[in-house]
Structure 1
Amino acid sequence: MTETTPTRVVTERRGHVLLIGFNRPEKRNAADFALLQQLSLAYGELDRDPDLRVGLVHALGDHFTAGLDLADVGPRLGAHGLDMVPEGGLNPWQVDGQSVSKPVVMAVQGTCLTLGIELILASDIAIAAESTVFGQIEVSRGILPFGGATLRLPRTVGWGNAMRWLLTGDMFNAAEALRIGLVQEIVPDGTQFERALALAERIAAQAPLAVQATLANARTAVRDGDAAAEADLQPELARLAATTDARVGMESFLSRVPAVFQGR
């Protein structure tokens, strides 16, 4: 009898939004190797499919994630780290030189440890339930964060704030996450998914090529500096101005009728 791979990540299309849900609630959504691979495949689907415009990452159960399931993943660590991205996938933490081209919104609750924080840092907007607790606790386990926290947390929250949490492994609450800019909104417990979905759908209603170009230019500025981003502005403006969506946007402006963008 062949053993089947458990479903660790569930996906659902909601219009132009791809819902990506952690599905290991009995283990507080700790990420085993199957979850890592399935999450990578979901990100690959989001990136490839032109009908999908935004990803929304959430979690089933009471907790977003307890972090890495070291018992399952630890033995898979090799001399060059962890190879977890199957063919057709894309590294959700985007620390291998390839980035997802579309925005990702996140809804977190309960416990959000290690790779959960790093997934927030690799995404674009994060909504937290008010009782969420966070922790970048790798130094307490004898390893370092390897999903981008050392790169992105200092840039996002400032050096001192980042070192306060990276080097101590201490836990912090949603209010602190909001104060330092790790999350963008705190909402009552149980409403984080609905709020994140509303934002994802708002983004999905905009011109998708323009959204993707805006995201790409902002990333260029962060990664390569202002001069590189500035050099792209006029060529990207000319490219977008020639699209059907730019015509639709202008017609909407003149007629005051809401635009329905086509992504071309």
Structure 2
Amino acid sequence: RSFVAGADISEMKEFSSIEGKKFSVFGNDIFLRLENMAKPVIAAVNGFCLGGGNELAMSCDIRLASQKAKFGQPEVGLGITPGFGGTQRLPRIVGMSKAMELTLTGRIFDANTAKEIGLVSEVYPPEELLPKAIALAEEIMANAQIAVKQSKRVMRMGIHTDIYTAVALEADAFGVCCGTEDKVEGMGAFLEKRPQKNFKNI
């Protein structure tokens, strides 16, 4: 029924200010590690994705949803703020105005709305969600993995800095890829009109 059930509210009800901050720091550390993994991470959301669940999904690189999925950051209705990065990732993904609206109202919304605002990439019938997520992962895996990892790294780092620094990061990544055997293989296959590519991740 849920993508992630979320935090234990009965436990959080007893938190002091110090305990609450420690809990938030702990959760943010985990989600930052997920966000900064070298490999791409796909969230397949089927069911409720509220609070910490939505924050977990937003830490993933690509989000897909089933028609049954429900999203939201309802924390203000519990007397707290989002604590695992929701106030920071949601504006970066959907824009400040919509993020403010959703966070300050605590509104729960459906998968089609999530797609409309850019929170998820695609919406599928529930029975198709996992096969579609696996197919997407396989499509990514068919490419040169050094290039995939460098692309993810530069996008993740670049969004947090100015455009001049970001394009310099991109130039570094482009240079790294130009020194790989996979570049030779990929470009060779293109020029030879050869569909099969034998990437070795070197």
Q: Normalising TM by the smaller chain, what interval?
A: 0.7 to 0.9
Pairing 1:191–2:191 present: no
Query: Match for residue 176 of structure 2?
Result: 239
Larger relative contact order, structure 1 or 2 (CA cutoff 8 Å, min sep 6): 2
SS at match of 1:126: strand
Question: Percent same amino acid at aligned positions?
Answer: 35
Task: Describe the shift of the 1:159–1:192 C-alpha distance in structure 2 as closer, same or farther (beyond 3 A).
Answer: same
Letter of the aligned partner of 1:65 in structure 2? V
Pairing 1:203–2:140 present: yes
**Number of residue pairs the alignment of both structures matches:** 198
The root-mean-square deviation of aligned C-alpha atoms, in Å, is 2.4
Letter of the aligned partner of 1:244 in structure 2? E
1:214 to 151, 155, 164: 151
TM (norm. structure 2) is: 0.87
2:64·2:121 contact (CA, 8 Å) conserved in 1?
yes
2:158·2:169 contact (CA, 8 Å) conserved in 1?
no
Query: Match for residue 146 of structure 1?
Result: 83
SS at match of 1:144: coil
Compute the displacement of 1:69 (Å): 1.9
SS at match of 1:224: coil
Query: Match for residue 14 of structure 1?
Result: none
Compute the displacement of 1:113 (Å): 0.8
Pairing 1:259–2:197 present: yes
Query: Match for residue 111 of structure 2?
Result: 174
Deviation sequence 1:41-88 (CA, Å, 0-9, x none): xxxxxxxxxxxxxxxxxxxxx321231123356668726412658xxx
Report the more deviating stretch, 252-261 or 128-137: 252-261
Long gaps (5+) in structure 1: 1-61
The structure with more helix, counted as a fraction of residues: 2
Pairing 1:106–2:31 present: no
Compute the displacement of 1:183 (Å): 0.4
Long gaps (5+) in structure 2: none
2:3·2:46 contact (CA, 8 Å) conserved in 1?
yes
Structure-1 separation of matches of 2:99 and 2:20: 28
2:45·2:69 contact (CA, 8 Å) conserved in 1?
yes
Query: Match for residue 229 of structure 1?
Result: 166
TM (norm. structure 1) is: 0.68
2:97 to 160, 168, 193: 160
Letter of the aligned partner of 1:257 in structure 2? P
Query: Match for residue 2 of structure 2?
Result: 63
Query: Match for residue 78 of structure 1?
Result: 19
SS at match of 2:3: coil
1:92·1:119 contact (CA, 8 Å) conserved in 2?
no
